[in-house]
Amino acid sequence: MKILVCVKQVPDMESKFKIDSSSKWYDQSDLVYKINEYDEYAAEEAVRLKEKVSGSELTVLSIGPERVKDVIRKVLAMGADKGIHILDNEEHLKDPFQKASAVAEYAKSENFDIIFTGLQSQDRGSAQLAPLLAGMLNYSFVSTVVAFENKDGYVEVARELEGGLRAKVKVKLPAVVACQLGLNTPRYPTLPNIMKAKRKELKTVNIDELLKAEPLVETGKVYFPERKAGGIVLEGKADEMADELIKILKEKTQVVK
Partner 1 sequence: MKALLIGESKQGKIEDSTYELVGFAKQFGMESAMFIVAKNDSQIAYDGKVYLADSDKYKEYNPDAHKKLIEEAINKENPDYIIFSHSSYGWDMAFRVAADLKVAPISEVVDYKDGTFVVPCCNSKFRREVKPKTDKAVLTLQGGAFNPVAEGTPQIETLDIGDVEPSVEFIDYEVQEKTGVDLTKAEIIVSVGRGVGKKENIEFEKELAETLGGELGASRPVVDSEWLDQSHQVGTTGQTVAPKLYVACGISGAIQHLAGMKKSGFVVAINKDKDAPIGEVADVFVVADVNEFVPILTKKLKSA
Ligand X SMILES: Nc1ncnc2c1ncn2[C@@H]1O[C@H](COP(=O)(O)O)[C@@H](O)[C@H]1O
Q: Work out which of 84, 119, 129, 207 binds ligand FAD, going by CB under 6 A.
A: 119
Q: CA nearest 94: which of 84, 103, 83?
A: 103
140: contact with ligand X by CB under 6 A: no
Q: How many residues bind ligand FAD (CB under 6 A)?
A: 4
Distance CA 91, CA 61 (A): 14
Does 189 engage in binding with ligand X (CB under 6 A)? no
Query: Left if phi > 0, otherwise alpha if psi is -120 to 50, otherwise beta: which for 129?
Result: alpha
DSSP 42-64: HHHHHHHHHHHSTT-EEEEEEEE
Q: Taking the complex as a whole, how short is the minimal distance between the CB of residue 204 and partner 1, in angstroms?
A: 27
Residue 175: left (phi > 0), alpha (psi -120 to 50), or beta? beta
Q: In the bound complex, what is the minimum distance in angstroms from residue 90's beta carbon to ligand FAD? A: 27
Kindly tell me which of 38 and 141 has the beta carbon lying closer to ligand X.
38
Closest C-alpha among 51, 52, 58 to residue 76: 58
Q: Length of the chain in residues, anyone?
A: 257
CA gap 174, 114 in Å, rounded: 5
- Select the binding partner of residue 205 from ligand X, partner 1, ligand FAD, none (C-beta < 5 to 8 A, by kind): none
Which of 14, 152, 214, 239 touches ligand FAD by CB under 6 A? 14
Q: Which residue lies nearer to ligand X by CB, 118 or 165?
A: 118
Region 10-39 residues binding ligand X, contact defined as CB under 6 A: 36, 38-39
Q: Which is nearer to partner 1, 40 or 88 (CB)?
A: 40
Total binding residues toward partner 1, as defined by CB under 8 A: 83
Q: Is 10 in the site for ligand FAD (CB under 6 A)?
A: no
Interface positions with ligand FAD (CB under 6 A): 13-14, 119, 144
